[in-house]
Chains A and B, each alone.
Chain A
Amino acid sequence: MSNNDHSTSRRKFLKNTGIGVAGTIVASTLSVTGSVAEEAKNISLPDSPHVSKTLLKMAKDIYPHEMIQNKYYQKIVDDLAKQQKRLIDEGVAMLDEQSIAKLGSPFLQVNYEPDRVRLLRSIEETTFFIKVRTALMFGLYDNPELFPLFGYQGSSVEKGGYLNRGLNDLDWLSE
């Protein structure tokens, strides 16, 4: 199957998909995977530094991992912000508005983590939040570059599988 077919069918599906996480999950692969592995090192310049910084903070509340460097989070959300500029710009504006109303300052300036998390919980069903979250889900957990941090070994066919490579090396349980 050519890459082209692949992304056309993804696009078609995206168009037909309502909100709902599995649908969104599938739809989001369209915009996220592929690019991540190829060029994680070139952090793309965000269109707006505020949007970019806010998204990074949000990303690290959604899937907080000490072991993952900021550049990975940043790349994922910046790519999304570029692909879906309007939705993301409006989403960040909405987030700030609610943050100011409930917590007295824009999201970026809220230092207390539980406050930020509560705010994010209150918008977790919005299209904006779901888009950001699913982009992160693919960008972090379907990213071969990050697999080793989780102890996941990814593709194995090119190494001959595990038949002779640690298939049964569990040694911490006694019979």
Chain B
Amino acid sequence: MTNIAKFALDDDSLVVIIGSGAGGGTVANELAQKGISSVVLEAGKRFTLEDLKNNEWEMFMKLSWLDKRISAGGWHHSKNHTNLPAWIVKGVGGSSIHWAGVSLRFKPHEFKMKSTNGNIEGANVADWPVTYEEVAPYYVKAEHKMGVTGKATDTPDLPESSHTKLHRIAAERTGMTFTNAPMAINSVPNDGRPACQQIGFCMQGCRIGAKWSTMYTEIPKAEATGLCEIRPNCMVLKIEHDKSGKATGVLYVDKDGNKKLQKARIVCVAANSIESPRLLLNSASEMFPDGLANSSGQVGRNYMGHVTGGVYGVFPEPVNMHRGTSVPSLITSEQANNPERGFVAGYTLEVLSLGLGFLSAFLKPGTSGWGRETAEALENYQNMAGVWICGEDLPVATNRITLHPTEKDQHGLPVPVITKTDHNNDVVMRNHAYSQMAKLYKSVGATKMHNLPAYPSSHNMGTNRMSEHPSDGVVNKWGQAHDVPNLFISDGSQFVTSAAVNPTLTIVALAIRQADHIAGLMKSGQV
């Protein structure tokens, strides 16, 4: 590239974007395409396609955010994943490097769960201040940007694998609804990237770039405009503001350990749902003693993952689930909100292959996961098939990100504590999913089933939620902070509820919509 932008630290005309993942990378490119200049500060390094290897643990070590975090509360992570509450990437491209690519829209009712179900005891459910109808045109844009297979872009589904075939037949036998997954993975060459070769290590980073990731789509496109400067290895410590309460810039530490202050006209926070609220809390000042943009007290609260768990069945003959796309297909029968089942909201069953390495760690996490039974289970690897449960997790005010009172990270910042306890609705839903899976797998001859508890959280949402009224949430329907008009949240932390589907398509749709809004505000001089 010839024309890479380089901006001065005291340039106060810029949008400064924190984080380069699904949300941040998208905002950067959308703004760049509109002629708006930005600097993206990314804590992680740049990877190349050659860095992406077909090995689960090697890539986990290479890509993951491993700065200290502490799990607390009633979820099993407090015991079994003490320092790994969530599974998030640190690198240019963020978690869009290792995401599987499942791209589903929320359903209209999933933007208004409070109106749908009324008050739910012990939960902090609210309607989104934005409706499905308002987001729908941006879903279309996101689907085209990401090249989502199937109806969305009128491209073929990915080809059927044995893993999919087993689930399709099981669904037919049990009357459940089966569908190929709409994937942000090229089934045909598109956007200068090749078609998927069914390599099967999607969650280690797609070595050939067939899967959409901001790492090699949005980021280089933004850079090519000459209007976007990416600064890798730059960890933001604090957002600064002036006397009027407007954000003025961000303090960060670069790869050599030098602290720098980048001035800004607008700040977009897209550091994923643990780091984004942590940054706001760490930006407390005399004027904002409880943290920046936190007059509602909701920063860090309502932390949601998904109601989740895994189910692996053992079959009499080989399945070879590792061959092909990690998540090839879905069972969607339980997505509806049908309280007659004993829980509100719904869930999706997502066919998911794990390799031997991950399966050995997650089959029975915890100190007792060894012995003859575990060894025998793993010897059946070739004959296994599996799903991942993705159910709507209720927002609960006490499930939250807080700052540890004494422990500090390598930059001297308090480490985040991630406290989460299942709501009873979550427990009932998860058990329902396990029993549906038993029906499904018995219909195709399962000889054994393994129910796995939740993995370190891959979907993280809700900790800077949207609200109509400033007293109920952190940002408005555009992701703009109620308290700080030139501060935006551009990631999944703005979610109000979590829906029965994966979050990234919605994160990208909201990011495109937000970029439009920011461009409008800048043009009219409102920020």
Contacts and interface: CB of A to CB of B under 8 A. Distances in A.
Interface of A: 1, 6, 9-10, 12-13, 16-23, 25-26, 29, 33, 61-65, 67, 117, 121, 124-125, 130, 133, 137-138, 140-142, 147, 150-157, 160-163, 165-170, 172-175
A12 B444 CA distance: 47
B248 interface: no
Contact of A64 (B45, B165, B208, B375): B375
Contacts of A17: 83
A20 B81 contact: yes
A167 B367 contact: no
Given A9-B61, A150-B381, 10 more contacts: A20-B80, A23-B81, A141-B356, A141-B359, A142-B57, A142-B356, A151-B381, A151-B382, A156-B199, A162-B197
Interface in B51-81: 51, 53-58, 60-62, 66, 68, 79-81
Contacts of A18: 82-83
Nearest to A174: B169
Contacts of B355: 152, 154
A150 B45 contact: no
B379 to A, nearest CB: 7
Contact of B367 (A21, A64, A141, A162): A21
A17 B57 CA distance: 17
Main secondary structure of the interface of B (DSSP, over half): loop
Contact of B80 (A21, A152, A156): A21
B458 to A, nearest CB: 13
Given A141-B357, A157-B54, A157-B201, A173 B79 contact: no
A142 B357 contact: yes
Interface size class of B (residues with CB under 8 A): 35 or more
A155 B79 CA distance: 32
B375 A156 contact: no
Nearest to B319: A170
Given A21-B369, A22-B456, A166 B320 contact: yes
B332 interface: no
- The 4 A-B pairs of least Cβ separation, nearest first, read A151-B382, A20-B82, A161-B197, A155-B54
A156 B57 contact: no
B161 A168 contact: yes
B69 to A, nearest CB: 10
Contact of B371 (A67, A117, A151, A155): A117
A48 to B, nearest CB: 24
B365 interface: yes
A115 B475 CA distance: 60
B231 to A, nearest CB: 18
B367 to A, nearest CB: 5
